A = this chain, B = another copy of it.
Amino acid sequence: MPLSPGPFTGRTVSGLAQDLREGRTSAAELAKQALDAVAELDPHLNAFVTVDPEGALAAALRADEELAGGTDRGPLHGIPVGVKDLIDVASLPASMGSRHFAGHVPAADAECVTRLRRAGAVVVGKTTTHEFAYGPTGDRSAGGPSRNPHDPARMSGGSSGGSAAAVAAGMVPLALGTDTGGSVRIPAALCGIAGFKPAFGAIPTGGVFPLSRSFDHVGVLAADERDCLAAYGCLASTRPFEGERQVRVAWLDPAELFAGDPRVVDAVRGVSGAQDEVRLPSGVAEALQETYTVIQSCEAAAVHASRMVHAPELFDPEVRERLRVAGELPGWRYVQAVERRVELGSVVAALFAHHDVVALPTVPITAPPLQQREGELDGRAFLVRAALLALTSPWNVAGLPALTVPAGTVDGLPVGLQLVCRPGQEPLLFEAAALRATSAA
């Protein structure tokens, strides 16, 4: 049974911004609503690991004073935000979802949090992450799994599962996440909200605990793509061009990447707005997945090598076993993968030769039950982790901006449409999302 909607359900950041400026609400009131919603709903969802009522209320009062005094910091001014627990917020615990960092309190904000505060946003608390962000299921974390608001017995997806659950449940209108292979887009899709992974490097990763430095991205989660765009505009180092033209969208048949649930694929294709179809050349899907796995595994094993020697018992057993296997991959495969990544960049770029945006499902299945590791489709067994990552990780390999937006439901569970573009073409990406919204509405 779905939970009762939180105070931000059905409200957008832009709508809240208008309400704030026209006196219909205050930042303090929004912060209180968020804190009350967390108190009421979070026992069912475990989206938050730390809540900061004093800090949030103080920041909200400052935001109100500034607005009253004529200082307007823009679209996020006074907006309550959740921050993934992998991202440093000064004076709040940052556990990384792991017992290794129990009691760890960073002294300084991550660069993206600094930018969030500079934009006037109000940090409500820290959201659940899969341990060290090393898993797309979101159900292995020192503080327990985050849960899907559409069915708390199911996964939120991960690793930014708490951020997705918090927004989807209406506890906050906006949250920060990180995305190494899909960790923003996967939980956003499974929870029925929007999530945006920008181009590689577009939002700085300083103060964010690394998973795989070649692929780590900071991203944003919100109810719809316009809110993601507003937040992105406040966080990004550079601005994309502002020109607009008719966006050309091509459907990418996901079958070569993963043979998913045909009901999911059909539902997504129906709202994709695609006029044409493009295909990956033969062998490229495997090369993208191999490249992703090898680079991510070696880099994650490097990050955790010392912990694996000195305190392996503090890891979640599944995460530990993955790190053990990752630690055995030989270096020459990493070297070859780094070289292949460069070659794949040109292959992927060719998908955009005649189109601005490539559309495909974000995740080829709906949210599995918590802790499920194998599933079955048409009598064929599949690994849940592979299914969750199959359609998102290629765009981390290529470093391309990728957005997921809600695309209806299958069996009452949300599915997501993923839209991908080249760096610098982000306005067309959001335009394509808006077209979908129009046609799907």
A residues with a Cβ closer than 8 A to B are 294, 297-299, 301-302, 305, 326-336, 339
A334 with B334: CB separation less than 8 A: yes
* CB-based nearest B residue for A323: B332
Copies in the complex: 2
A330 with B329: CB separation less than 8 A: yes
Which residues of B have CB within 8 Å of A326? 332
For the complex of A and B, list the 4 residue pairs with the smallest distance between their C-beta atoms, beginning with the closest: A298-B331, A302-B335, A301-B332, A331-B334
Which residues of B have CB within 8 Å of A331? 294, 297-298, 301-302, 329-331, 333-334
Which residues of B have CB within 8 Å of A329? 330-332
A297 CB to nearest B CB, Å: 7
Known pairs A301-B330, A302-B335, A329-B331; list 5 more (Cβ under 8 Å). A298-B334, A302-B333, A305-B332, A329-B330, A330-B330
Which residues of B have CB within 8 Å of A299? 332, 335
A328 CB to nearest B CB, Å: 6
| Chain A residues touching B, majority SS | helix
A1 CB to nearest B CB, Å: 45
Contacting residue for A302 out of B301, B327, B332, CB 8 A: B332
How far is B331's CA from A334's CA once the two chains are assembled, in angstroms? 6
Which residues of B have CB within 8 Å of A305? 332, 336
B336 with A332: CB separation less than 8 A: no
Select the residue from A329, A335, A339 with max chain B CB neighbours within 10 A. Answer: A335
* CB-based nearest B residue for A305: B332
A341 CB to nearest B CB, Å: 13
A292 CB to nearest B CB, Å: 14
How far is B329's CA from A329's CA once the two chains are assembled, in angstroms? 8
Contacting residue for A327 out of B297, B298, B301, B332, CB 8 A: B332
A379 CB to nearest B CB, Å: 35
Which residues of B have CB within 8 Å of A336? 302, 305
A215 CB to nearest B CB, Å: 12
Given the interface pairs A299-B335, A335-B298, the reply to whether A328 lies near B330 with Cβ below 8 Å is yes
How far is B305's CA from A329's CA once the two chains are assembled, in angstroms? 14
How far is B334's CA from A327's CA once the two chains are assembled, in angstroms? 11
A3 CB to nearest B CB, Å: 41
Given the interface pairs A299-B335, A335-B299, the reply to whether A327 lies near B330 with Cβ below 8 Å is yes
How far is B329's CA from A330's CA once the two chains are assembled, in angstroms? 6
A209 CB to nearest B CB, Å: 15
Which residues of B have CB within 8 Å of A302? 331-333, 335-336, 339
How far is B338's CA from A299's CA once the two chains are assembled, in angstroms? 11
| Cβ contacts A to B, 28 pairs, < 8 Å | A294-B331, A297-B331, A298-B330, A298-B331, A298-B334, A298-B335, A299-B332, A299-B335, A301-B330, A301-B331, A301-B332, A301-B335, A302-B331, A302-B333, A302-B335, A302-B336, A305-B336, A326-B332, A327-B332, A328-B330, A329-B330, A329-B331, A329-B332, A331-B331, A331-B333, A331-B334, A334-B334, A334-B335
